[in-house]
Structures are given as C-alpha cells and as structure tokens.
A = this chain, B = another copy of it.
Amino acid sequence: MALCEQKTQLSAEEHMLLDHQVCFPLYSASNAVVRTYRPLLDKLDLTYAQYLVMMVLWENDGISVKDIGARLHLDSGTLTPLLKRLEGKGLVERGRSEQDERVRVLKLTEEGTGLKKEALQVPAQMKCKIQLDLDELITLKKLCEKIVATL
C-alpha cells in the first residue's frame, strides 16, 4: 500500500511505485527478521514458526491447536504439520483432551521444557542485530499490533 510524504496528493500512477509502498518494507522487514533468526535458531534446531509455538507452550503448556492458532494467528493447515515436526524432535506430545476428543492438547516433554534454557539467549542476540532504539522498537511494535488488530 502506498503513501505520499512530500506532496499533498499522489496520482494512482505514483502510488504504484515501489518506493511509495508501505506494505513492501513491512514484508521485506519480516522476511529479513526471519532470515536473521535462522542461524540463531539453528542451534536449537527450530524454525522461527516453531520457536513461536514453543514460546506459546513455555508460557501455556497443555493448550490446544486452536488456542495456539489464536495466539499466533496461524491455522491448523500450518500448525498440524509443524506440531508433528516438534513431536518428531521429541519436544512435544500430541495428546487429546479428555473432555473433548476433538481437541488436540500439546504437552511439552522434558526435553521441550529444557530447551527454554538455551532459548533464553536468543532475544538479546536479536536485539543486538536489529539495532533499533528502545523507543523505535516500541513504536514499531505498537504500529504492527494496530495493523494486526485492524485487519
């Protein structure tokens, strides 16, 4: 999506210029961030999406696919195979709720719980690489959260 910064109005033509787009930098920044996480998370044998799921479970062990999806804005088409991979690595167990046989309940294994210790290093390493001031980070976070809440 495009914006005008200098002039009062841009033509539809000008809005199409890549340099006037807002969504493109957002998309590029997200790609760049995930790419930057990769070498850090390789040491934990996790992808970024898997790392997010593990963070959710470290905070809230034993929750359902639906709840993980609600927290991460991801659906079962993404989560089901991802969770099977985490199970394959021995980090989670994919059980069923006793009250409701439909819901799959994710429980951290001992190894899954233990992995948190190494993961604690990651945020500081990323902060170091990103090189934004605290106020910039806060602004960015709020704007992104606003977009997610709106869309």
Number of copies: 2
A103 interface hit (Cβ, 8 Å): no
- A interface, size bucket: 35 or more
Interface residues of A, Cβ cutoff 8 Å to B: 1-5, 12-13, 15-18, 21-37, 48, 52, 55-56, 58-59, 71-73, 116, 119-121, 123-124, 126-127, 129-132, 134, 136-141, 143-148, 150-151
9 pairs from A and B in contact (CB 8 Å cutoff): A5-B138, A17-B55, A21-B55, A21-B123, A22-B140, A26-B140, A129-B150, A130-B147, A136-B143
Q: Return the contact of A16 from the options B21, B36, B58 (Cβ within 8 A).
A: B58
Give the dominant DSSP class at A's interface.
Answer: helix
Q: Which 5 A-B pairs have the closest CB atoms?
A: A30-B30, A1-B126, A25-B144, A29-B144, A15-B123
In angstroms, Cα B20 to Cα A126, docked, is 13
